[in-house]
Amino acid sequence: MSIAPVVDTLERLCTLLRTEVRQRGLRHGLRPVQVEALLYLARCNRYSDTPIAVAEFLGSTKGTVSQTLKILEREGLLTKGPDPDDGRVVRLELTPVGRALSAELALPPALEEALADDREWTERLSVDLRRLLGGMQRAAGHKTFGTCHTCRFFRRESSGFRCGLTGEALSESDSELICREHKLGAAAEAPSGDSRPAEEGRLGSLDP
C-alpha cells in the first residue's frame, strides 16, 4: 500500500479548509493569512506574541508578516506595544474587537458538522492527526508550536506547573496556550521537581 491516498486526501482537505476560511474571513474583509495570524495571536502565550513568532508559525518571513500585522493594526484588531526588557521587540495584543472576531472565526462550520455525530471517532482522529503533525514537524525540522502540556520543558511540581526553559511558574490556563519555544522529544535535563522520562517514546504525551 502506498501513502498516495493519504497525501491526496490531506491535500484536498487542506484546500477545502482554506476555502472555508477564505470565504468566512472575506465576509469580514480579511485575507486567509490575516485570519490565521489572528487565530494564532488569540491562542499564543506570553513568550510568543511577537511578529517573529507569527512568522515562524505561519512558515512565512518577517517582512511579509510585518505587512499583515500593519493591516490588522489599521483595522483595529490588534495593538503594538514595546517590550519592557528588549527594546527591539514589539508585543502584539488583540483588541476586544480582534478577540471577538477570532472567537467567531475559530470553528469552521463544515468541520464542526462533519465531526458532530461521533465523539469516539473525533477522539481517535485527534490523536492520529497530532501524531501525524508531530512526525511531519520533526521531518521538516520545523518548530512544533504545541502547548506546554506536550513540551519537553514542562515541569509538574508540588506547587503547580513550571517552564523548565525560562524557570517561570505557569498557571493552568498558561499551559494551554501555544508556545514558540515548544519542543517535543526526549526528557530534558532534570531540574528539581518530579520530572520523569517522556511517556510515549519519541512522541511525547498527547494531551486531550
Partner DNA sequence: GATGTGTGGTATCGACTCGATACCACTGTA
Partner DNA sequence: TACAGTGGTATCGAGTCGATACCACACATC
Interaction site with a copy of itself (CB under 8 A): 1, 3-20, 22, 36, 39, 43, 57-59, 106-116, 119, 121-126, 128-133, 135-140, 142, 145, 208
Q: Which does 52 bind (CB under 5 to 8 A by kind): DNA, a copy of itself, none?
A: DNA
52 is a contact residue toward DNA (CB under 7 A): yes
For the chain, the first-to-last Cα distance in angstroms comes to: 30
Indicate the SS3 state at residue 53: helix
* CB 58 to DNA: min, Å: 7
Cβ within 8 Å of residue 52, ≥6 positions away: 62, 65
Q: Map the footprint of DNA across residues 75-114, applying CB under 7 A.
A: 80, 86-90
3-state helix, strand, coil in the chain (%, to 5): 50, 10, 40
Query: Which amino acid would we find at residue 119?
Result: R
Q: Which does 66 bind (CB under 5 to 8 A by kind): a copy of itself, DNA, none?
A: DNA
Rg of the chain taking only CA atoms, in angstroms: 18
64 is a contact residue toward DNA (CB under 7 A): yes
12/70 with CB nearer a copy of itself: 12
Quote the CA–CA distance of 44 and 206 in Å, as a whole number.
18
Binding site for DNA (CB under 7 A): 22, 26, 31, 33-34, 50-53, 58, 60-64, 66-71, 80, 86-90
